[in-house]
Amino acid sequence: MTKRVILGLSGGVDSAVAAILLKDKGYDVHALHMTNWEDDDGYCTAAADLQDARRVCEQLGIPLHHANFATQYRDQVFDYFLDEYRKGRTPNPDVLCNREIKFGVFREYAKRLGGDLLATGHYARNRIVNGHGALFKGRDPDKDQSYFLHAVSAAALAETVFPLGDYYKKDVRRIARERGLVVHAKKDSTGICFIGERPFREFLATYLPANPGPMRTPGGDVVGEHEGLMYYTLGQRQGLHIGGIHGRPELPWYVVGKDVPTNALIVAQGEHELLFSDALVASDAHWIGEVPAELREGLRCAAKVRYRQPDQPCTVRTLADGRLDVRFDARQRAVAPGQFVVFYDDDLCLGGAVIDEIG
């Protein structure tokens, strides 16, 4: 019996090539295009993306379904995004977007369409291991998206196909061009998940009031004024606008911390020691499949604290309060609370957690 696959079709080149590969394998392919952001402010490309999705489906001869999950996106992703910025943290909405929308409400909707399997254009791989869905890095190290998928459940992974997992981006572009896809030269989307590219400060200020305050050194000297803690992240160099200060060396300034109670942005010159840490504490851990038994004594694995970071050897233990203590073999630069630490055993993604504190 031919299995029906419901493919998330964004209107971009990756999901369009995923459709081709699925059809070539004999699946009954249906496409589902999501609208998750409705504010018409001149930056959102939702209408144009829907048109591109229609053109791709017409070209490939596959049915296109359309669903609006804007309410769920605001409730389950965007509200969290804003709340993290209120706390002075740096959130990563792409992780929640995958867990709650693409592999949450989208997955349930796909089942109502008669889908046996779900498919997306992510650069990742999966298979069943010990009876559970397991997640692996994509073949292309420059495009591997397992970092953003680490919070997806094993059950969802067991019902998912990643057609691009074994492909390099250059080969995806080549297939799109050779097969004459109307979107073969379309630029990759960037920016906030489903919201797209836009002036970030202007966008954030429409939801959170800016609250300027002092920029000060770790020693307490005020060297400027920031425009609002939410606009800055640890390790940031650009946009500080600190001029030459008499008696200080000509070295670049970096954000090295935030003092939320006093609304102060902590900045320092050069590769200051506060830019580096060899440990962190993380909460809300999600493990794909079974929780590793070694956590009590110390799980040896690798971790990433940001997308595309090379794997960093570390030891992970469970604390008394249920959070994770992560100790790195080498010091890490600019670890940002609110971001995710994601754990790996070679190419196997074990899971991840939200970074709370830096040690």
Mean pLDDT of 3-12: 95
At residue 203, the pLDDT reads: 84
**Residues in Cβ contact with 353 at an 8 Å cutoff, skipping those fewer than 6 apart:** 282, 283, 284, 285, 286, 323, 324, 340, 341
Instruction: List the single range of 77-81, 138-142, 199-203 with lowest mean pLDDT.
Output: 199-203
% of the chain at pLDDT higher than 90: 84
What is the identity of the amino acid at 145? Q
Instruction: List the single range of 158-172, 235-249, 342-356 with lowest mean pLDDT.
Output: 235-249
Phi then psi dihedrals of residue 202, to 5 deg: -60, -40
Report the topology of domain 4-200.
Rossmann fold (3.40.50)
Q: Nearest CA to 117 among 162, 151, 166?
A: 162
Report the topology of domain 210-270.
SH3 type barrels. (2.30.30)
For the chain, the domains span 4-200, 210-270, 275-358
Q: Is it the case that residue 72 has pLDDT exceeding 80?
A: yes
If pLDDT is split at 50, 70 and 90, which confidence band does 310 have? very high
| Angle formed at CA 50 by CA 44 and CA 52, multiple of 5 degrees | 110
**Residues in Cβ contact with 61 at an 8 Å cutoff, skipping those fewer than 6 apart:** none
Report the topology of domain 275-358.
Elongation Factor Tu (Ef-tu); domain 3 (2.40.30)
If pLDDT is split at 50, 70 and 90, which confidence band does 47 have? confident
Residues classed as catalytic:
97, 193
- Fold agreement (210-270, 275-358): no
User: What pTM, to 2 d.p., does this model score?
Assistant: 0.93
Average pLDDT in the chain: 93
